[in-house]
Amino acid sequence: MILRRLLSLYGLLFFVFVYAPILLVVIYSFNANTLNMMIWDGFTLDWYRQLFGMETSLTQSATFVDSTDQLWGAVRTSLIVALSTSVFSTVCGTALALAVARYRFRLARFYRTLMMLPMIMPDIVLGIALLIFFITIGMNLSMMTIIIGQSTFLISYVFVTVSARLAEVDTSVEEASADLGATPAQTFRKVTLPGIAPGILGGWLLAFIISMDDLVITYFIAGTGNTTLPIHIWGLLRRGIKPEINAIATLMLLFTLVIAAAGLYFRSRRQK
Amino acid sequence: MTLARRKLLQLVGLLGAPTVFLLVFFFGPLLIMLVYSFLTPGLYGGVDWIFSHLNYGRILGWADTRYEKFDPVFIAIFLRSLRLAALTVLASLLVCYPAAFWISRMRPGMRDFAIFLVTLPFFVSLIVRLFAWVLILRPTGFLNQGLMGLGLTGAPIEFLYTDFAVILGMTYVFIPFMFLPLYGSIEKLDMAQIEASSDLGATRFQTFRKVILPATLPGIVGGSVITFIPALGNFIVPSVLGGAKVLMIGNLIEQQFLSARNWPFGSALAMLVMSAVLILLIAQFRLSKKEAQA
Amino acid sequence: MTPFDTHPAGLLPAGSQDRTPMPSPLEIIDARKSFRTPEGGTMTALDGISLKLASAEFVTLLGPSGCGKTTLLRTISGFETLDAGEVLIDGSAVTQMPAHRRPVNTVFQRYALFGHMSVARNVGYALEIAGRDKREIRTRVGEMLELVGLAGMEKRSIQQLSGGQQQRVALARALAAKPKLLLLDEPLSALDKNLRQKMQQELKALQRELGIGFIFVTHDQEEALTMSDRIAVLAHGQIQQIGAPTELYRTPANLFTADFLGESNLLPVKVAGGRASLRDGQSFATEHRAGEATLLLRPEALSITPPEGHALSFTGTIRETYYTGTDHQIALETPAHGTLHALLRSGAALPGLGAEMTLHAPAQGLHLIDEAAP
C-alpha cells in the first residue's frame, strides 16, 4: 500500500514537472512588475495590450524595440508557411498511405520503412542538407524553400497518421462499393474518404502545429526576411529576457490548445 | 486496357508525385551533403570541387599536418554530446517509467485523459517550453528564489548554462518521446504474472527485476532510442540553456554553416551524427527482430 | 407467410420464358492464379479451374480454408486478376473488366455495409452510383427491403441493426441493381445456428424466385448439402469434384471428397477378376477396374441386423458411444480395419462399452473410390 501511495505521489510530481513551467509563464504574463519579472507586482494586461499596439503605461526600456511589427510579420509568415506546408504534406502523405495500404506491390514494405526516415533524421542534419542543396541548385532562400523543406518530413507524419486510420477501415467496404458499380474515384469519395477523414484531419492538424513550431530546419533555410514566429522568439531570447515574451508565449499556448482541442473534438465526434 | 495495367496506373498516380518530391528534396540534399563532406572548403565560403578526406581527418585524427595539427577537440565535443544524450535518456527513464506505471493502473477514462495530458506539451512550442526553464533556472529565477527563501543557500546558484540545465531541458522537451513507448509496453503487462511472481515467493524488487523489467524492455529500448536521436543532434536546447559554455555537436555544425563558413567540414560533422543515428537504429532493429524470433 | 412470398414485379429475369438458348450465366475457363507469400515463396490459389453454370443454378464452392474458393469468387467479382484463364458472365468475357463494371454483385462475409449511411442509402447505393432518379431509387429500395423482410426500415442506421438484419440489408443491397449473378462469400458464418438455418431456407427460396445464378462460398458441408443445386468441392486450387449434393455424397470421386463431405469409413480393397476383397478376406462383386481401391462405407449404411442377401460383416469391440437423440454414434474397434464409425437408429438395444458386437452392410451397390486408401 505504501508503494502504491508513493507511486501516486510520484505521478502527481510528474505532472507538476510537466505543467509547472508552462503555468509559470502564463502567470507571469500578467505581472505588472516591469523591472524584475520574477517578483509579483499586481495584475496587468499591459503586456498583451503592447502586443496589439494599444496604449500602455510601459516604458521603452521594458520592451523590445520595434518588436511588435516584426512579431506580427513573423506570425503572418508562420501562418502562410504552416497552411501551405500542411495542405501539401496532407495530400502527399495521404496518397502514399493509400497506395501502401490498398495496393499490392513489391515496394510497399520498403515504402513503409522509408517513410520513417524523415521523422528520425536529426533536424540539424536535414536542415543543413537542405541549405546546401538549395544553394547548390541555385534556388534563392524564400518562403518557398521553407515550405519545401518542412514538407520533406511532415509528409511522413501525415503518412503515419493516415495509415493508422486506414488500417482500421475494412477494405471489404471499399470492395462492396466497387462491386455495386462505383468507379475508383466514386468509391474514394463516398466510402474511403468518410472513413479516413478523421485520420486526414488529424494528420493535417499535426502537420500544421509542427510546422508552426519548427525552428531548426526553418532556421537554416529561411534566409533573411522570412522570419517565422519561432525564429522571431529565438531572436528575442538572444537579445535578453523581457516580460513581453511571457505574453507571446501564452498566446501561442492558447493557439495550440485550441487546435489540439479541435482535433480531439473531431475525433470524438467520429467515434460515435 | 488490362486490369493489371489499370491498377498499375492508379498506383503510379498515387505514388508518383510524392515519390519524386521525396527523392529530390529529401534524398537529394542528403546525397549532396555526403558529396560536400568530401570536398575542399573554398577560401571565402562555399566549396572547391577538389576531393578531400581531411574533413573527416580533422575530426577523427588524420589532420593536414601542413596547415593544422590534429586537435582532439572535435571528437571530444562529439563524445560529450553522446554523454549528454545518454544522460538525458537515463533521466527521462527515471522520470517517465514510474509515471507510466502509475497511469497504466488508472481506470480507463482517467487513463486516456492522463495520456492526453502527457502528450499535450509536445504540441506547445518548443521555444516557449525552453523559455519557461530559463525563467526557472536563471540566477534571479524561481528555483534560486525558492532555495534562498528556504535558507538552503545564501547566494544564487548558477544553474543556467550548465550541463545540468541542458540535460534537464532535453529531458523535459522529450518526455512524450520516452513516455509513449514505455507506456505501450507497460500497459501490456499481465497483472496475473506479477501476482504469480509474488505468489511464488518473490519480493517486490525481485518481481520487478525478473518479471516487470524484462517484459517492458522493448518499451525501454524503443523510448531510449527515439529520445537519444534528437538529443544527440540537438542544438536549440544547448543554445538556450547551455549558453556558450555547453557546446554540443549540433552547435558545432551550426557554427560551420553560419559563422565559420566551412561547409565541407560541417557536412562531415553532420554525416558523423547521421551515421551514429543509423547505427543505433539498425542495432535496435536487429535486437527487436531477434526478440520477436525468440 | 415468409417475407419472400410476394415479390415485386420485374425481379424475374426477362429471359425466363425465352425460347432462344440463353448464354451461361457464368463460365470459367482454366483459371490460374498464384500469390507471393510474405516469406518470398509462391502459393497457387487457383490451379486450372473450369466451371460452367448450365442455367440459373445455386452452385456452392465448398472446401477447407486456403483451398482457393474465396479467390475464385473474387476473380468472378473482379477483385483479383487471373494470371491465366477467362471469366465469362452471360456469355461475354469480363476477365479484364474492373469490378465496378461487372454485372455481378456480392454479399460479403461480414456484410461490409457502409456504416456512415442509412439502410436506405446502403440499399440504393448501386442505383445512386448509376445515376437513377431519386423517386425510382426510393421505390426500388422499398421493394428490396420488403423482399428481405425489412419493410419500413429505410431510415435506420446500420449500427441499430442486429446481425441478422444487417445480413438482410447486405442481401437487399446486392440485389437492388438486378445483378446477373449473385456471389455470396460465407454470408451466414457470423450468424448463430437457428438464424443460419432460417436464412439457408430463405436464400434458397429467394434464388428460385429470382431465377438468377447464385455462387455461394462456404466451408460448412452441411450448409452446402442443404442449399445447393450443385456443389464444387475445392482443394489445393483445383475442383476435386462437382455435382449434385446426393451424387457427391453417395459416389465421391476421390478420397478428399469422401472424407470432406460427411462422415466416412474408408477401407482398402484389392480388385481382381471382378471381385473386390477386403483385408480380412471378405469380398463382393464389382465392376471396378482391377488394382487397389478404397471402399466407402457411410456410418448410416451399417446396421445391427443383417440385410437380406449377401452382406459384409464387421466384428469388433465398442470403444465409444454417443447418444444424439435420434441416433447412436458408435466407434467399433475391429482387428482388421481399425476403428469403424456407425450411426444406428436409436431404439435398438446396444451392448455397453467394451462389449463385442457385429455390424453389417449390404454387399450390393457399394461405392469404390479409384484411389488407394491412406
- Which positions in chain C touch A173 (Cβ < 8 Å)? 112-115
Query: Are C63 and C71 within 8 A, CB to CB?
Result: no
CA angle B219–B222–B227, rounded 5-degree value: 120
Q: How far apart are CA A200 and CA A194, in angstroms?
A: 10
Q: For residues C270 and C352, state if they share a domain.
A: yes
C364 lies in a domain? yes
Of A118, A120, A237, the CB nearest to B240: A237
Whether the predicted pLDDT of A130 surpasses 90: yes
- Cβ separation A179–C104 shorter than 8 A: yes
- Which positions in chain A touch B129 (Cβ < 8 Å)? 21-22
Whether the predicted pLDDT of B18 surpasses 60: yes
Please report which confidence band the pLDDT of residue C8 belongs to, taking 50, 70 and 90 as the band edges: very low
Q: For residues C280 and C354, state if they share a domain.
A: yes
Q: How far apart are CA C87 and CA C98, in angstroms?
A: 12
Q: For residues C185 and C322, state if they share a domain.
A: no
Across A79-84, average pLDDT: 96
- Which positions in chain B touch A237 (Cβ < 8 Å)? 127, 131, 134, 240
Amino acid of residue C292: E
Q: How far apart are CA C38 and CA C103, in angstroms?
A: 33
pTM of the model: 0.81
Which has the closest alpha carbon to C114: A183, A168, A170, A103? Answer: A170
Whether the predicted pLDDT of C234 surpasses 70: yes
Whether the predicted pLDDT of B16 surpasses 50: yes
Instruction: Enter the C-alpha cell of residue A95.
Output: 496518397
Instruction: Enter the C-alpha cell of residue C1.
Output: 407467410
Distance from CA of B4 to the nearest CA of C (A): 7
pLDDT attached to residue C6: 41
pLDDT attached to residue C17: 47
Across A19-42, average pLDDT: 83
Length of chain B: 294
> How far is the CA of A23 from the CAs of A37, A249, B126, in angstroms?
15, 11, 15
Q: How far apart are CA C204 and CA C163, in angstroms?
A: 19
Give the least confident one: A38-47, A122-131, A228-237, B80-89: A38-47
Q: Is A16 helix (H, G, I), strand (E, B) or coil?
A: helix
pLDDT in tens, B71-97: 788 889 999 999 999 999 999 999 999
Whether the predicted pLDDT of C3 surpasses 70: no
Q: How far apart are CA C159 and CA C148, in angstroms?
A: 18
Q: Is C313 helix (H, G, I), strand (E, B) or coil?
A: strand
pLDDT attached to residue A268: 62
Of A172, A183, A190, the CB nearest to C100: A183
Whether the predicted pLDDT of B195 surpasses 90: no
- Which positions in chain A touch B281 (Cβ < 8 Å)? 120
- Which positions in chain A touch B237 (Cβ < 8 Å)? none
Q: For residues C222 and C310, state if they share a domain.
A: no
- Which positions in chain A touch C116 (Cβ < 8 Å)? 194-195
Q: What is the 3-state secondary structure (H, E, C) of B226-272?
A: HHHHHHHCCCHHHHHHCCCCCCCHHHHHHHHHHCCCCHHHHHHHHHH
Give the least confident one: B194-198, C3-7, C352-356: C3-7
Q: For residues C86 and C188, state if they share a domain.
A: yes
- Higher pLDDT: C59 or C305? It is C59
- Higher pLDDT: B43 or C270? It is C270
Q: For residues C237 and C354, state if they share a domain.
A: no
pLDDT in tens, B274-286: 999 999 999 988 8
Is residue A230 left, alpha or beta, with left meaning phi > 0 and alpha meaning psi from -120 to 50?
alpha
Range with top average pLDDT, A229-238, B191-200, C13-22: A229-238
Q: For residues C75 and C38, state if they share a domain.
A: yes
pLDDT in tens, C272-287: 888 888 988 888 888 8
Paired residues of C215 in beta bridges: C59, C183
Instruction: Enter the C-alpha cell of residue C368.
Output: 469404390
Q: How far apart are CA C138 and CA C181, in angstroms?
A: 23
Q: For residues C39 and C65, state if they share a domain.
A: yes
Please report which confidence band the pLDDT of residue C15 belongs to, taking 50, 70 and 90 as the band edges: very low
pLDDT attached to residue A237: 84
pLDDT in tens, A169-205: 888 999 999 999 999 889 999 999 998 998 899 899 9
Distance from CA of A24 to the nearest CA of B (A): 7
Whether the predicted pLDDT of C361 surpasses 50: yes
pLDDT in tens, C62-107: 999 888 899 999 999 998 889 999 999 988 899 988 889 999 999 9
Q: At what angle do helices A2-28 and B126-137 cross, to 10 degrees?
A: 100
Q: Percent of chain C beyond pLDDT 90?
A: 48
Cβ of C157 under 8 Å from any chain B Cβ? no
> How far is the CA of C245 from the CAs of A175, B224, C223, C226, in angstroms?
31, 63, 11, 8
- Which positions in chain B touch C98 (Cβ < 8 Å)? 3, 6
**Which of C214, C239, C255 lies at the terminal end of a domain, its last residue?**
C255
Paired residues of C182 in beta bridges: C105, C214
Provide the 10 A C-beta neighbour count for residue A162: 27
Distance from CA of A95 to the nearest CA of B (A): 5
Paired residues of C88 in beta bridges: C27, C93
Tell me what the pLDDT averaged over chain C comes to.
87
> What DSSP character marks residue C262?
S
Query: Are B154 and B148 within 8 A, CB to CB?
Result: yes
pLDDT attached to residue B8: 87
Give the least confident one: A42-46, B101-105, C83-87: A42-46
Most B CBs within 10 A among A107, A132, A210, hence the mutation to make, goes to A132
Cβ of C331 under 8 Å from any chain B Cβ? no
pLDDT attached to residue C14: 44
Which has the closest alpha carbon to A229: A99, A76, A86? Answer: A76
pLDDT attached to residue A269: 59
Across A38-55, average pLDDT: 81
Instruction: Enter the C-alpha cell of residue C155.
Output: 431510415
- What residue spans define the domains of chain A? 2-62, 67-240
Instruction: Enter the C-alpha cell of residue B97.
Output: 517509467
C204 lies in a domain? yes
Q: For residues C244 and C270, state if they share a domain.
A: no
Could you tell me the residue range of the domain that residue C220 belongs to? 14-103+179-255
pLDDT attached to residue C138: 94
Of C78, C81, C97, the CB nearest to B4: C81
* B70 alpha-carbon distance from chain centroid: 29
C124 lies in a domain? no
pLDDT in tens, C134-177: 999 999 999 999 989 899 999 999 988 998 899 999 999 999 98
pLDDT attached to residue B202: 81
Q: Percent of chain B beyond pLDDT 70?
A: 97
Q: How far apart are CA A125 and CA A123, in angstroms?
A: 5
Distance from CA of B10 to the nearest CA of C (A): 12
Q: For residues C287 and C363, state if they share a domain.
A: yes
- What residue spans define the domains of chain B? 68-118+166-293
Chain B neighbours (≥3 Cβ pairs under 8 A) are A, C
CATH superfamily of A67-240: MetI-like (1.10.3720.10)
Distance from CA of A79 to the nearest CA of C (A): 34
Provide the 10 A C-beta neighbour count for residue C61: 29
Of A117, A118, A215, the CB nearest to B126: A215
- Enclosing H/E stretch for C122: helix C119-123
Q: How far apart are CA B228 and CA C327, in angstroms?
A: 71
pLDDT in tens, A91-102: 999 999 999 998
Instruction: Enter the C-alpha cell of residue B106.
Output: 488508472
Q: Cell numbers 574533413 correspond to what residue?
A: B55
C153 lies in a domain? no
Q: Percent of chain A beyond pLDDT 90?
A: 47
Q: For residues C43 and C59, state if they share a domain.
A: yes
Q: How far apart are CA B192 and CA B187, in angstroms?
A: 13
Any idea of the CA torsion for B259, B263, B269, B274, to the nearest 10 degrees?
Answer: 120
Amino acid of residue C337: H
Select B68-118+166-293's CATH number: 3.40.50.720, 2.60.120.260, 3.30.70.100, 1.10.3720.10. 1.10.3720.10
Tell me what the pLDDT averaged over chain A comes to.
87
pLDDT attached to residue A106: 81
Phi, psi of C357 (to 5 degrees): -160, 150
Query: Are A44 and A241 within 8 A, CB to CB?
Result: no
Whether the predicted pLDDT of C366 surpasses 80: yes
Tell me what the pLDDT averaged over chain B comes to.
88
Provide the 10 A C-beta neighbour count for residue B92: 25
Whether the predicted pLDDT of C288 surpasses 60: yes
